[in-house]
């Protein structure tokens, strides 16, 4: 069943609204993988560290946003304010889901740790490529800016992934 233009636009709008968190999460995952070492020997531990680190930073981001909003507006903390802060922050955590699953799969022997790293980096770089292309398209509505946006954002991801191999 094909999506209508309205449904497609709505899907892109949700993706666009989550862009900050997705970019933040992708760069965070790539950074954590860079720190994980050349060949993660304990993929289960890597999964826990990866997800736990992204969760901690996501909670810190949501809490900071909640408190900053309360201070700037002089409003009491409310369930609605917490939901808004979490809604804005949760895409950051969502990015860590697939990489965490890849490392759990490596922990039970379905993948090698190296493949888990490669797939995790691929997911993050892919998300950055898509968001870069999307930004170029939304800003100018033309193919060239979309390609340049993808090259820029994806290039940042590729540079972070490459740094892992250079420093290890």
Residue 128 belongs to a domain? yes
Average pLDDT over residues 124-135: 94
Most confident of 14-18, 78-82, 102-106: 102-106
pTM of the model: 0.84
Residue 90 belongs to a domain? yes
Residue 9 belongs to a domain? no
Report which of 62, 48, 34, 37 is spatially closest to residue 106, judged by C-alpha positions: 48
Residue 1 belongs to a domain? no
Average pLDDT, the chain: 87
**Cβ within 8 Å of residue 39, ≥6 positions away:** 113, 114
Report which of 90, 83, 71 is spatially closest to residue 14, judged by C-alpha positions: 90
Residues listed for the chain: 168
Q: Which domain holds residue 95?
A: 22-34+41-167
Number of domains present in the structure of the chain: 1
Average pLDDT over residues 71-80: 83
Query: Two tokens at 40?
Result: 């993660």
Model pLDDT, residue 78? 81
Higher pLDDT, 154 or 11: 154
* Residue 6's pLDDT band (cuts 50, 70, 90): low
Whether 53 contacts 80, CB under 8 Å: no
Give the integer Cα–Cα distance in Å for 92 and 27.
10
Q: 108-119, pLDDT tens digit by residue?
A: 999 998 899 999
Give the integer Cα–Cα distance in Å for 3 and 9.
10
Average pLDDT over residues 88-114: 92
Give the integer Cα–Cα distance in Å for 122 and 152.
16
Residue 57 belongs to a domain? yes
Whether 82 contacts 66, CB under 8 Å: yes
- The DSSP result for 29-89, as a single string, is HHHHHHHT-SS-S-HHHHHHHHHHHHHHHHHHHHHHHHHHHHHHHT----HHHHHHHHHHH
Model pLDDT, residue 83? 86
Model pLDDT, residue 103? 95
Model pLDDT, residue 68? 87
Residue 10 belongs to a domain? no
Residue 70 belongs to a domain? yes
Residue 158 belongs to a domain? yes
Model pLDDT, residue 84? 83
């Amino acid at each position: 069943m094909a999506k209508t233009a309205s449904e497609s636009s709505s899907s892109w709008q949700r993706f666009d609204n989550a862009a900050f968190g997705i970019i933040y999460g992708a760069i965070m995952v790539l950074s954590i993988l860079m720190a994980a070492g050349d060949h993660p020997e304990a993929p289960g531990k890597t999964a826990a560290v990866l997800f736990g680190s992204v969760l901690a930073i996501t909670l810190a981001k949501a809490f900071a946003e909640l408190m900053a909003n309360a201070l700037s507006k002089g409003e009491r903390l409310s369930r609605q304010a917490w939901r808004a802060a979490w809604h804005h922050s949760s895409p950051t955590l969502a990015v860590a889901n697939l990489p965490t699953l890849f490392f759990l799969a490596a922990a039970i022997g379905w993948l090698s740790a190296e493949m888990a790293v490669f797939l995790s980096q691929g997911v993050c770089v892919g998300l950055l490529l898509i968001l870069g292309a999307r930004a170029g398209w939304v800003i100018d509505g033309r193919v060239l800016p979309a390609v340049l946006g993808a090259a820029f954002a994806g290039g940042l991801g590729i540079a972070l992934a490459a740094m892992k191999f250079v420093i290890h």
